């Protein structure tokens, strides 16, 4: 065996990776090799130095904070998935009403015209409308819609159903009451998934109406997700304002606590803090783990007002 190979054995030996016969060979070699003995001492010193200077244990507080953030992220993940499927379902419903045959036929005609206009480059010259219960209108499916990647999943309309996907550079226009579940479903999807922050903002504002509003579970979950994870502070702020209009519950409380401990914008942290205080005045309680978050905030938050308000919360609950 070459000298360099013994050096490798020596390293493996320090990591406890040698078989007994290899260990024996190395031991015999070391008896006669001064260089390897020096090498062994050197590497032992190195590893001791490194072992002594690197933190090895995970702090319980850090683990608990990581778990808390993970719970929030998983909630967002789940909500996004649900919204996606309910929006898809909502859009699907446009094509699966009792008037299946009529709509399917109209749709097939519409697709024919659209595809025709795409390939022949001619305008049909008329605005096409698909109606359902006089509330929803696809009113803009006219010329130059810019449909691309049309793919049929089911093109056989004999059973009344067709299914397809397409991408359109020009949006479909949808009109209806803001309280309508299908309108809400699209807005909810947009507030979560639109790339443009202005569109996300508008989707939230559209639901922030003076009229009595029905907020279903999907909207609440979407707002919670936006409050916790939208990258744009303006969007988070509007979502927070709207969320405060929804009856307070556990998921809203958790979202507010998340903002207080994680949001980088102090104005939003203050707003969330005020909401928690207001909920407290209405009898909503915080458990000991949640109170610990305020202890942590007092120590770590840079904003003196937030520190002060957190102290107030702790005093009120003690």
Partner 1 sequence: MHLNDTDLILQTQKGDQNAFEELVYRYDRIVLSIAMKYAFNEDDAKDLYQEVFIRVYRGLKNFRFQSEFSTWLFRITTNVCLTYKTRSKEHLKVSIESDFDNEENEFSTTKELVYDGSSPEEISSGADLGEIVNSAVESLSPKQKMTFILKHYEGYKIREIAEMMNCKEGTVKKYLFDAIKNLRKKLSPVYA
Give the separation between CA 104 and CA 110, rounded to whole angstroms. 10
Stretch that binds partner 1, among 71-79, 92-100, 139-147, 309-317 (CB under 8 A): 71-79
Q: Are 273 and 306 in contact (CB under 8 A)?
A: yes
Regarding 70 and contact with partner 1 (CB under 8 A), the answer is yes
Residue listed under structure tokens 């093109």? 155
Give 148's contacts (C-beta < 8 A, 6+ positions apart).
166, 167, 168, 169
User: Smaller CB distance to partner 1: residue 117 or 221?
Assistant: 221
- Residue 133, helix vs strand vs coil: coil
Residue choice 1, 24, 46, 308 for contact with partner 1 (CB under 8 A): 46
Stretch that binds partner 1, among 74-82, 198-206, 239-247, 264-272 (CB under 8 A): 74-82
Stretch that binds partner 1, among 66-74, 118-126, 132-140, 293-301 (CB under 8 A): 66-74
Neighbour count for residue 126 (Cβ, 10 Å):
9
Residue choice 3, 27, 67, 285 for contact with partner 1 (CB under 8 A): 67
Regarding 5 and contact with partner 1 (CB under 8 A), the answer is no
Regarding 17 and contact with partner 1 (CB under 8 A), the answer is yes
Q: How far is the CB of 299 from partner 1 (least distance, A)?
A: 14
Residue listed under structure tokens 């024996």? 24
241-280 binders of partner 1 (CB under 8 A): none
User: Six-digit token pair at 176?
Assistant: 């209806």
Regarding 49 and contact with partner 1 (CB under 8 A), the answer is yes
Q: How far is the CB of 38 from partner 1 (least distance, A)?
A: 11
Task: Please report, for residues 65, 137, 150, 191, 292, the alpha-carbon distance to residue 80 in angstroms, rounded to integers and kept in the order given.
Answer: 23, 26, 25, 11, 30
In the chain the beta strands, taken as DSSP E runs, fall at 131-132, 136-137, 147-154, 163-168
Q: How far is the CB of 36 from partner 1 (least distance, A)?
A: 15
Residue choice 20, 32, 56, 318 for contact with partner 1 (CB under 8 A): 56
Residue choice 66, 88, 115, 308 for contact with partner 1 (CB under 8 A): 66
Beta strand pairing call for 163-168 and 147-154: antiparallel
User: Six-digit token pair at 213?
Assistant: 């509003």
Residue choice 5, 27, 35, 74 for contact with partner 1 (CB under 8 A): 74
Regarding 135 and contact with partner 1 (CB under 8 A), the answer is no
Q: Are 190 and 203 in contact (CB under 8 A)?
A: yes
User: Six-digit token pair at 141?
Assistant: 């499916």
Q: Which residues bind partner 1 (CB under 8 A)?
A: 8, 11-12, 15, 17, 42-43, 45-51, 53-58, 62-63, 65-67, 69-71, 73-74, 77-78
């Amino acid at each position: 065996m070459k000298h360099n190979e013994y050096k490798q054995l020596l390293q493996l030996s320090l990591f406890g990776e040698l078989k007994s016969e290899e260990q024996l060979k190395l031991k015999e070699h070391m008896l006669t090799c001064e260089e390897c003995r020096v090498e062994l001492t050197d590497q032992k010193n190195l590893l001791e130095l490194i072992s002594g200077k690197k933190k090895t244990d995970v702090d319980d507080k850090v683990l608990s904070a990581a778990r808390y953030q993970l719970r929030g992220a998983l909630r967002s993940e789940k909500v996004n998935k649900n919204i996606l499927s309910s929006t898809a379902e909502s859009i699907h419903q446009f094509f699966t009403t009792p008037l299946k045959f009529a709509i399917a036929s109209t749709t097939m005609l519409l697709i024919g015209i659209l595809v025709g206009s795409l390939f022949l480059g001619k305008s049909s010259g008329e605005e096409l409308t698909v109606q359902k219960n006089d509330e929803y209108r696809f009113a803009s499916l006219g010329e130059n819609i810019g449909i691309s990647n049309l793919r049929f999943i089911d093109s056989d309309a004999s059973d009344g159903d067709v299914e397809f996907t397409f991408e359109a550079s020009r949006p479909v226009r949808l009109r209806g009451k803001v309280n309508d579940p299908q309108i809400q479903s699209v807005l909810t999807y947009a507030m979560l998934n639109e790339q443009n922050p202005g569109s996300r903002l508008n989707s939230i504002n559209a639901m922030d109406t003076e009229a009595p509003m029905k907020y279903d579970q999907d909207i609440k979950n979407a707002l919670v997700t936006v409050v916790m994870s939208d990258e744009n502070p303006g969007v988070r702020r509007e979502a927070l304002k709207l969320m405060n209009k929804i009856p307070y519950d556990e998921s809203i409380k958790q979202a507010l606590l998340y903002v207080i401990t994680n949001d980088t914008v102090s104005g939003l942290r203050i707003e969330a803090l005020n909401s928690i205080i207001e909920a407290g005045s209405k009898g909503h309680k915080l458990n000991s783990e949640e109170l610990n978050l305020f202890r942590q905030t007092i120590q770590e938050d840079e904003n003196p007002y937030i520190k002060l308000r957190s102290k107030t919360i702790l005093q009120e609950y003690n």
